[in-house]
């Protein structure tokens, strides 16, 4: 009887444990910024822990650079900008309470994030709360969104998926492809565009596999892929799963199969997880350009180096920077920090028509001179379509043996159009 | 799907089962004597893995020496855990549900403590995996053969302890009835402390072999593995070490072989489907019911 009770109690406790773990997740922490008179608060909701914990800090770096520039120029309509963060842990179970809590306690006037892993779990709430949100991430679930307050500053994975296939077929001419995705929404959204583009161009997709993250072993899955004899593996896995999978792939003799990944595999954390020397040898990641060329990117690189002791901008940081600038400029254009008022001016400052502007100071001066502006971002033109998505170029990046990302080849929007 | 691929899956399953056996026997031994489930057990694995990391990378000890030392140190951590956290509740005869909540809280506390000390970044041992060996149609690295050997040796040691030592007999007596054991003159408090030491030792060992197996690890190592450990423990019958060994073997092999046939996303589902069937048709566990430990 005791054992039966124990089993029931254990089972119910498993559920309780899950709930408690969710409730106890670090929800929000103040990000240290010097307070000013009547500051306005921008929330950065992103994974700062969990399976894609690099997204939060990387995005925040770019937001910090923008905020420094904005506050140095007197803030937004006289308000200094302050940042608060919410840790979504990359999991909807944690994201929903974390976002609710930050909205209730910090009263932000805009949000940046969350990423693809959790945006769909909070998107309705953000829109209903009439909070302007600039999400960062490529999930194809947002390709045709119709939310007034939600915008996306990174190109869709459907575009990146096509770019991954373009790199593999047009530049490397691989003929037999294995697809390997993590069993999460973010990775799954890549499957269709990659697979359909590969098949359209005559590539034999010999294996299409999704794996549950964080297992202690993937040897059977590795053996299935090896049995299919692919020329290349297209992949998006979180770093922990990637570490286990690719170490076993090497153990079982597949260490010389090239890998084509996306922005997740382009992170330093991923390269560290699978081994930098292996990443340098076999991995190429196709992603939005880490930094677009042109005056906006040059300004951003200069600001970034000033903020972070001479460092180069890291992946995703430019998206955070652009998101923050667009929000601030829309407020200035609307002469209001109220999201229900300035939301109508987001496209006005980002899309033009107007005079091209490449940084906040220049843009603010143009607006004050009663000129229409067209903000050009550090990550690209940042022109929103009718579904509030941006289009952009891609680039294939590799790792050096010291773990630094370098550009292998650029892929233009013209290359991808109709491919 | 060829038979040789299935056979390969069985071999891969043996490795998973070895890691699982070490951890599930540690958990079930503690349950058998104390009669409550320790949800902080996953952190013993994590602590073991990080202690071995310090010894291997900081003091440059061989990984297997580091593993053994980390097991001993984790045993001390588990012993202290019992003295400082658990005993104050058991002394007051706190209800089981209170102890469960306490261990869940301690699980979060310990995981965040490890993260505060070591950071969230990936850690890796200095431990070259070596070349692949072909053994009867199966593929293993030298490391994996070591893992299987260590698990087998630990299981034999646990069996010898339970069957032939005074401590083992006392543990079995306490497992049947701790009140009767106390009346019979068995020092139940001391035996409980030995059990925590043993549980911590096995938890520490399994944490290190798990970390070797997954190549890189973070502070979430143990908690991510805990639910599979529970599956093996429940399958074997909670509190029964031999059952846990068998449960580990079945779960480990079933997960790997299923991944050869079905989409890998169903791998964990297969493990838990077996578990649900067990709970429906044989809730006392897979082995015949004749007392626990």
Give the number of beta-carbon pairs within 8 Å between A and B: 138
What's B124's domain CATH number?
A: 1.10.3470
Which of B218, B258, B271 to substitute to test the interface with A, most A CBs within 10 Å? B218
A47 versus A290: which is more confidently predicted? A47
Confidence of residue A70 (pLDDT cuts 50, 70, 90): very high
Whether residues A9 and B264 touch (CB distance < 8 A) is answered with no
- Give contacts of B282 with chain A, Cβ < 8 Å: none
Please state whether the predicted TM-score (pTM) of the whole model is above 0.80. Answer: no
Residue B288 lies in a domain: no
Count the domains in chain B: 1
Rounded mean pLDDT of chain A?
88
Share of chain A above pLDDT 70, in %: 90
Mean pLDDT of A301-305: 95
Residue B85 lies in a domain: yes
Residue B293 lies in a domain: no
A398 bridge partner residues = A284, A406
- Give contacts of B267 with chain A, Cβ < 8 Å: 211-212, 215
Whether residues B265 and A211 touch (CB distance < 8 A) is answered with yes
Cβ-in-10-Å burial (0-12, 13-18, 19+) of A387 comes to middle
Question: What confidence score (pLDDT) does residue B130 get?
Answer: 66
Does A8 have pLDDT greater than 70?
Answer: no
Tokens representing B257 are: 């072989």
Which residues of chain B, if any, have pLDDT below 50? none
Length of chain A: 419
pLDDT in tens, A245-260: 999 999 899 999 999 9
Mean pLDDT of A331-335: 97
Min Cα separation B193/chain A (Å): 22
Mean pLDDT of A350-372: 95
Tokens representing A223 are: 């053996």
Question: What confidence score (pLDDT) does residue B86 get?
Answer: 94
Question: What confidence score (pLDDT) does residue B138 get?
Answer: 82
Residue of B nearest to A214 (CA): B224
Residue of A nearest to B224 (CA): A214
Mean pLDDT of A66-84: 96
DSSP string, chain B: --HHHHHHHHHHHHHHHHHHHHHHHHHHHHHHHH-S--TTHHHHHHHHHHHHHIIIIIS---HHHHHHHHHHHHHHHHHHHIIIIIHHHHHTT--HHHHHHHHHHHHHHHHHHHHHHH-SS-B--S-----EEEETTEEEEHHHHHHHHHHHHHHHHHHHHHHHSHHHHHHHHHHH-HHHHHHTT--HHHHHHHHHHHHHHHHHHHHHHHHHHHSSB-TTHHHHHHHHHHHHHHHH-TT-HHHHHHHHHHHHHHHHHHHHHS-GGGHHHHHHHHHHHHHHH-TT-SS--S---
State the DSSP H helix or E strand holding residue A205, giving kind and residue range, or none if neither: strand A204-211
Does A179 have pLDDT greater than 90?
Answer: yes
Whether residues B16 and A216 touch (CB distance < 8 A) is answered with yes
Mean pLDDT of A100-116: 94
Residue B209 lies in a domain: yes
Lowest mean pLDDT among A2-16, A76-90, A177-191, A204-218: A2-16
Does A354 have pLDDT greater than 70?
Answer: yes
- Give contacts of A184 with chain B, Cβ < 8 Å: none
- Give contacts of B227 with chain A, Cβ < 8 Å: 14
Residue B185 lies in a domain: yes
- Closest in B139, B216, B230 to A252, CB measured: B139
Whether residues A247 and B215 touch (CB distance < 8 A) is answered with yes
Pick from A40, A9, A18, A52: which is nearest to A338 by CA?
A40
- Closest in B35, B234, B259 to A7, CB measured: B234
d(CA B245, CA B19): 10
Does A190 have pLDDT greater than 90?
Answer: no
- Closest in B107, B120, B260 to A53, CB measured: B120
Residue of A nearest to B235 (CA): A7
Mean pLDDT of A109-133: 94
- Give contacts of B12 with chain A, Cβ < 8 Å: 217, 219-220, 223
Residue B80 lies in a domain: yes
Whether residues B234 and A224 touch (CB distance < 8 A) is answered with no
d(CA A255, CA A275): 12
Whether residues A220 and B257 touch (CB distance < 8 A) is answered with yes
d(CA B223, CA B112): 11
Which residue range is the domain that position B267 belongs to?
Answer: 3-281
Share of chain A above pLDDT 90, in %: 66
- Give contacts of A223 with chain B, Cβ < 8 Å: 5, 8-9, 12, 260
pLDDT in tens, A139-159: 888 988 999 999 999 888 888
Cβ-in-10-Å burial (0-12, 13-18, 19+) of A125 comes to middle
Which domains can be identified in chain A, with CATH numbers?
28-155+293-375 (3.40.50.2300), 160-286+395-416 (3.40.50.2300)
Residue B126 lies in a domain: yes
d(CA B266, CA B137): 25
Which of B20, B264, B278, B293 to substitute to test the interface with A, most A CBs within 10 Å? B264
Which of B20, B259, B267, B288 to substitute to test the interface with A, most A CBs within 10 Å? B259
- Give contacts of B218 with chain A, Cβ < 8 Å: 240
- Give contacts of B212 with chain A, Cβ < 8 Å: none
A298 versus A25: which is more confidently predicted? A298
Q: Respond yes or no on whether ipTM tops 0.85.
A: no
Does A184 have pLDDT greater than 90?
Answer: no
- Strands, sheet with A283-287, edge to edge from the N-terminal-most edge strand: A204-211, A176-182, A232-236, A259-261, A283-287, A394-399, A405-411
Question: What confidence score (pLDDT) does residue A419 get?
Answer: 78
Whether residues A14 and B227 touch (CB distance < 8 A) is answered with yes
Mean pLDDT of A69-98: 94
pLDDT in tens, B63-99: 999 999 999 999 999 999 999 999 999 989 889 899 9
Min Cα separation B237/chain A (Å): 8
């Amino acid at each position: 009887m005791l054992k039966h009770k124990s089993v029931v109690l254990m089972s119910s406790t498993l559920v309780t444990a899950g709930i408690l773990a969710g409730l106890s997740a670090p929800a929000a922490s103040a990000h240290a910024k010097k307070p000013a008179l009547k500051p306005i608060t921008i929330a950065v909701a992103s994974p700062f822990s969990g399976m894609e914990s690099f997204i939060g800090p990387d995005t925040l770096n770019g937001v910090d650079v923008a905020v420094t520039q904005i506050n140095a120029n007197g803030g937004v309509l006289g308000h200094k900008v302050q940042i608060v963060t919410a840790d979504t842990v990359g999991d909807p179970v944690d994201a929903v309470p974390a976002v609710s809590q930050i909205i209730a306690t910090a009263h932000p006037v805009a949000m940046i994030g969350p990423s693809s892993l959790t945006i769909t779990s909070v998107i309705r709430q953000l829109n209903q709360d009439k909070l302007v949100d600039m999400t960062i991430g490529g999930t194809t679930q947002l390709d045709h969104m119709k939310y007034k307050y939600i915008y996306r500053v990174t190109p869709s994975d459907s575009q990146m998926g096509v770019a991954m296939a373009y790199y593999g077929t047009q530049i490397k001419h691989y003929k037999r492809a294995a697809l390997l995705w993590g069993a999460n929404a973010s990775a799954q959204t890549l499957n269709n565009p990659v697979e359909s583009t590969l098949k359209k161009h005559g590539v034999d997709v010999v294996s299409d596999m999704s794996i549950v993250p964080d297992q202690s072993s993937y040897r059977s899955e590795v053996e299935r892929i090896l049995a299919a004899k692919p020329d290349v593996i297209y992949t998006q896995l979180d770093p922990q799963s990637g570490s286990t999978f690719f170490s076993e792939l090497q153990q079982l003799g597949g260490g010389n199969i090239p890998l084509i990944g996306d922005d997740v595999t382009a992170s330093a954390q991923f390269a560290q997880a699978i081994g930098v020397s292996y990443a340098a040898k076999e991995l190429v990641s196709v992603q939005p350009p880490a930094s677009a060329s042109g005056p906006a990117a040059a300004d951003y690189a200069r600001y970034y180096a000033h903020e972070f002791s001479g460092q180069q901008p890291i992946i995703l940081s430019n998206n955070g920077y652009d998101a923050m600038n667009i929000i601030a400029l829309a407020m200035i254009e609307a002469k209001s920090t109220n999201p229900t008022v300035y939301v109508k001016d987001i496209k006005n400052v980002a899309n033009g028509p107007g005079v091209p502007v490449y940084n906040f100071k220049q843009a603010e001066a143009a607006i004050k001179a009663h000129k229409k502006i067209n903000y050009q971002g550090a990550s690209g033109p940042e022109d929103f379509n009718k579904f509030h998505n941006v289009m952009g170029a891609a680039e294939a990046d590799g790792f050096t043996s010291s773990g630094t990302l370098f550009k292998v080849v650029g892929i233009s929007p013209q290359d991808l159009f109709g491919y | 799907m060829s038979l040789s691929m299935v056979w390969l899956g069985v071999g891969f399953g043996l490795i998973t089962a070895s890691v699982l056996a070490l951890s599930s026997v540690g958990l079930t031994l503690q349950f058998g004597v104390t009669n409550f489930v320790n949800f902080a057990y996953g952190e013993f694995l994590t602590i073991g893995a990080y202690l071995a990391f310090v010894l291997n990378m900081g003091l440059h000890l061989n990984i297997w020496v580091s593993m053994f030392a980390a097991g001993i140190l984790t045993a001390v951590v588990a012993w202290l855990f019992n003295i400082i956290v658990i005993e104050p509740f058991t002394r007051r005869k706190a209800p089981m549900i209170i102890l469960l909540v306490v261990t869940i809280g301690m699980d979060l506390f310990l995981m965040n403590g490890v993260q505060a000390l070591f950071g969230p970044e990936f850690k890796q041992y200095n431990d070259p995996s070596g070349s692949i060996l072909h053994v009867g149609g199966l593929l293993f690295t030298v490391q994996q053969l070591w893992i299987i050997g260590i698990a087998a040796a630990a299981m034999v040691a646990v069996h010898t302890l339970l069957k032939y030592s005074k401590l083992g007999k006392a543990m079995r007596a306490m497992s049947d009835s701790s009140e009767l054991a106390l009346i019979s003159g068995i020092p139940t408090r001391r035996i409980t402390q030995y059990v925590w030491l043993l549980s911590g030792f096995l938890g520490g060992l399994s944490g290190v072999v798990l970390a070797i197996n997954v190549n890189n690890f973070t502070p979430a190592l143990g908690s991510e593995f805990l639910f599979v450990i529970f599956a093996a423990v429940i399958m074997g019958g909670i509190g029964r070490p031999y059952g846990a060994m068998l449960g580990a073997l079945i779960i480990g092999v079933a997960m790997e072989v299923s991944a050869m046939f079905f989409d890998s996303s169903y791998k964990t589902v297969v493990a838990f489907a077996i578990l649900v069937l067990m709970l429906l048709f044989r809730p006392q566990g897979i082995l015949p019911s004749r007392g626990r430990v």
